[in-house]
Amino acid sequence: MSYPNGCYSHAPNLRVRPVEEMKSCVVFRPSPPKLFMLNLNAWLIFELCDGSSPHDVAQRYRKNVGSQMSDREAGRQLAIGIKNLHDQGLIELKVTD
């Protein structure tokens, strides 16, 4: 699998509140305003997008979920999660040269 050059990070100005007793995380995006309730998988992916490269995010994700699913399924779940978080405006890929 090839990864783009750059890093994944949270979009600016988000308000993030873990709700551990509900095993979820609430994220408020101010522009345009919308509230999101992230499930455990989306929350994990969101937290891994901390300025790390796509390769590092993938390695750390696989390490976290490796006992629960195959490497192939982990890659599929990560790709879906990254796309959804990006499409919702919660994470950004900052491309470097």
Question: What is the rounded distance in angstroms from the CA atom of residue 84 to the CA atom of residue 20?
Answer: 22
pTM more than 0.75: yes
More confident residue, 4 or 66: 66
Average pLDDT over residues 68-73: 94
Measured from the Cβ of residue 21, the count of other Cβ atoms closer than 10 Å reads 6
Q: What is the pLDDT of residue 1?
A: 45
Segment 3-52, tens digit of pLDDT: 557 899 999 999 999 998 999 999 999 999 999 999 999 999 999 999 99
Residue 94 reports pLDDT greater than 80 = yes
Question: What is the rounded distance in angstroms from the CA atom of residue 27 to the CA atom of residue 37?
Answer: 6
